[in-house]
Structure 1
Amino acid sequence: MNLEIIKAELKRAEDQSFVGRTVFTVDKHHSPYEITFFSTRGTEWDYSLSFAGEPGSEEQFLEVDALLEQDDDLYNQLLDAALDTQELPEEE
């Protein structure tokens, strides 16, 4: 399954937890997806998948969700896109 990352971001909350998101498209799917990541320490991540904008095919959505559960490389590609946007703290 080929995907294209449209945009990604990762922010650190006041409680030092992390919230990130990656918007992406999948070949032959009409609607883009958004995966939201959450971690309290930045090591173990929870995620939530949704449509980015207008809802699309439920069947295609379930296909992508199942693939994320099975394909660590795909999941890590989306997480890494968000992690790559994180601003590093300035050294003093």
Structure 2
Amino acid sequence: MNAKITSAEMAYNERDGYFGRVRFEVEGHKQPYELTLQSDKRMDDWNYSLNFLSESGVEQQIEAVEQAIEENDDFFDDLVEAAVNAMEA
């Protein structure tokens, strides 16, 4: 799956740990996506939510992205890394 990250952000606070967002486009998909991330202080277990960025799109397409996130560790890690790098910048 070819994805282009358009923006990323990450913040940290003592109570909630890490919270970030990654906005990205997927080749051949009409609508862009937003991945919301949350992790504890150790950043070793990430919770996430995938949504269309601005308006609803094709359900089969978001399901394909969800499947790619679940099955392709490199794809998910690239998205997380973009958010972490945004925090360090």
Give the TM-score band, short-chain normalised: over 0.9
Name the CA distance, whole Å, in 1 between partners of 2:8 and 2:74.
17
Residue in 1 aligned with 2:45? 44
TM-score (norm 2): 0.92
Matched, 1:35 2:42: no
Residue in 1 aligned with 2:15? 15
Name the CA distance, whole Å, in 2 between partners of 1:68 and 1:5.
14
- Structure 1 or 2: larger strand share? 2
Name the CA distance, whole Å, in 2 between partners of 1:56 and 1:3.
16
Q: Which has the larger radius of gyration?
A: 1
Specify the code of the residue in structure 2 equivalent to 1:7.
S
Name the CA distance, whole Å, in 2 between partners of 1:7 and 1:77.
13
What is the SS of the residue equivalent to 1:29? coil
Structure 2's unaligned 5+ residue stretches are: none
Residue in 2 aligned with 1:74? 75
Name the CA distance, whole Å, in 2 between partners of 1:85 and 1:50.
20
- Structure 1 or 2: larger helix share? 2
TM-score (norm 1): 0.89
What is the SS of the residue equivalent to 2:64? helix
Specify the code of the residue in structure 2 equivalent to 1:66.
Q
Tell me the C-alpha RMSD between the 2 structures.
1.4
Name the CA distance, whole Å, in 2 between partners of 1:53 and 1:38.
21
Structure 1's unaligned 5+ residue stretches are: none
Specify the code of the residue in structure 1 equivalent to 2:34.
E
